[in-house]
């Protein structure tokens, strides 16, 4: 899963959640919730933000992550999905949403892990989400 979402997808998400675009993304989020109900990580909000499969291409050019988004995100432990849901929804519902940086990588073992870090850059506070997916060398 790490390589699937680490290419163009990660780049597009980071552009949508950057300082210059976070207000527009928050507006889209609020519109999405008003039409579709409460956000939950892994639902169609991400496909609403990044609707073109070619923008989900990984580093090898595969766009398979687009069609497997719900399955892959649903395969993460509930506790991690819940934490991501709470962070993203609280931020995007706020009056002053913070920019967010996403990194997707591989864990050292066969587990999922989430590292959340608030950090300052250029005088601005950011939210960092580092999602670690099971190590592909250990999965069969």
35, part of any domain: yes
140, part of any domain: no
Distance, in Å, from the CA atom of 10 to the CA atom of 104, rounded to the nearest integer, reads 7
116, part of any domain: yes
Sequence-distant (6+) residues with CB within 8 A of 31 are: none
75, part of any domain: yes
Distance, in Å, from the CA atom of 22 to the CA atom of 99, rounded to the nearest integer, reads 6
Q: Which domain, by its residues, includes 64?
A: 8-133
Q: What is the pLDDT of residues 35-73, one digit of tens each?
A: 999 999 999 899 999 999 988 887 788 888 889 888 889
In this prediction, residue 23 carries a pLDDT of 98
99, part of any domain: yes
33, part of any domain: yes
Q: Count how many domains the chain has.
A: 1
Residue 132 backbone zone (phi > 0: left; psi -120 to 50: alpha; other: beta): beta
2, part of any domain: no
Q: What is the pLDDT of residues 68-113, one digit of tens each?
A: 888 889 889 999 999 999 999 999 999 999 999 999 989 999 999 9
In this prediction, residue 127 carries a pLDDT of 98
Dihedral pair phi/psi, residue 48, rounded to 5°: -70, -40
């Amino acid at each position: 899963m790490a390589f699937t979402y680490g290419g163009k997808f990660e780049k597009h998400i980071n552009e949508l959640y950057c300082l210059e675009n976070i207000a527009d993304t928050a507006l889209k989020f609020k519109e999405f919730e008003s039409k579709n109900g409460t956000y939950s990580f892994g639902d169609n909000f991400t496909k609403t933000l990044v609707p073109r499969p070619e923008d989900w291409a990984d580093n090898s050019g595969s766009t398979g992550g687009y069609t497997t988004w719900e399955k892959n995100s649903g395969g993460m432990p509930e506790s991690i999905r819940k934490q991501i849901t709470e962070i993203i929804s609280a931020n995007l519902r706020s009056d002053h949403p913070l920019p967010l940086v996403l990194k997707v990588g591989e864990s050292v073992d066969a587990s999922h892990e989430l590292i959340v870090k608030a950090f300052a850059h250029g005088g601005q506070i950011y939210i960092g989400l580092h999602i670690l997916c099971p190590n592909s060398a250990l999965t069969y």
